[in-house]
Structures are given as C-alpha cells and as structure tokens.
Amino acid sequence: MDRQQLSALIDHTLLKPEATAAQVERLCAEAVEHAFASVCVSPTQVALVARHLDGHPSLACSVIGFPSGAHLPAIKAAEAARAVADGAQELDMVIDLGALADRGGAAVEHEVAAVRAEVADAAAIKVIIESAALTDDQIVAACEAAVAAGADFVKTSTGFHPSGGASTHAVALMRRTVGDDVGVKASGGIRSYEDALAMLAAGASRLGMSAGVAVVTGG
C-alpha cells in the first residue's frame, strides 16, 4: 500500500485539551485535502468539525468518556447522544478499565450497550480498550463484550494512558478475537509510514493518528 492509499484508513486526530478552533479548522482542511476517513476531536469541537466537513466524504468523529473511561454508562450514553446531535458520525468510547478488572466483560458489554441503545444506528461505535494496560485474557474479554453489545470497531488506545499505545501483538490478538466482520483501530504512538504498515499487517483496518499528513506525504 502506498502512502496516498493510507489516507482512506486514517482518523485525523487532535485531542489535546488546549486545541483551538483554528487548529481544528486546519485539521478539517487537511482531512479534505488528503481524503482521510474522519476527523476525530473532543466533544466540544464536534459541531465545528461537522460544519467544516459538510459535503465532504471525511466523517466527523467524537471521543466519549475520554480519556479515562471512568464515567457512568448513563453519562457516556448522554455524551454520545449530544455528540450525534452535534453531527458526529463516529464515536470512539473509552471503557471503564476498573469495571473490567472488577467484573470482567459483562461490565464492558453493559456500558457499550447503553451507548448503542442511545444512538441506535446514527453513528459507528469504536470501543477503546487501552490494550497496553490489559492482559491478553482481558483484551479478549473486552473485545468479545464490545462486539456482543454492538460495537463496530475495537480500538487499542487513547494515546493518553501511561502504559503506552498500540502494539502489533495487541492488534493481531484483537483481530483474531473479533474476526473479519468488526473493525480494529490501532491508535497511540503510530508516527511513521512503517508504523502504519506494521499495524495494517497485524490486522488493523483503521489508524488513529495525529501525524497523518506527514505519513501520507512523506514529510
């Protein structure tokens, strides 16, 4: 896959808490120029993204329960509903890692189902499991639960957890767990063309990146 072909698989991302409207507008312009899959931002900036991408193929994406995931399912569901009302077409929601550790996959299934019930088919749901913070058994349990609750993708990382971001091992395990009918998004620490290709070879079908322009242009 050449660099330009990668564009359609990249979620062009800006999630720094200090991100400004001007920076988000530039992100949208870059997404249109390079035909990225989506622009992924914080909930407060989704409406701005939706306006700028109106009429373009790139989708508006919002994070939910970001970055800790330690939010009640009802709060995540309400946040998801507001993001969809503001124009989000995709939602990247963070699971509650403590609940997973305490109660296993049932906790993940409960909160993902709450978000799915709230937004119905209005948006694709990508479930962030923070794979670097989990054992292999926990990765499998989280992925199985997310799929059972209606997730469209499972996603490795927020990029904010101290345990680290995506790994090819986690991506491959997630792909084996969910099969071919559910997406796998690798995110966190993907900064080069070589990183991107490694994640795709491991089984990723979407890439979350803040370095997308440099990767697809060779800059």
Q: Just list the catalytic residues.
A: 92, 155, 185
Contacting residues for 179 by C-beta, under 8 A, at least 6 apart: none
Q: How many residues does the chain have?
A: 219
The count of other CB atoms within 10 Å of the CB of residue 212 is 25
d(CA 94, CA 112): 9
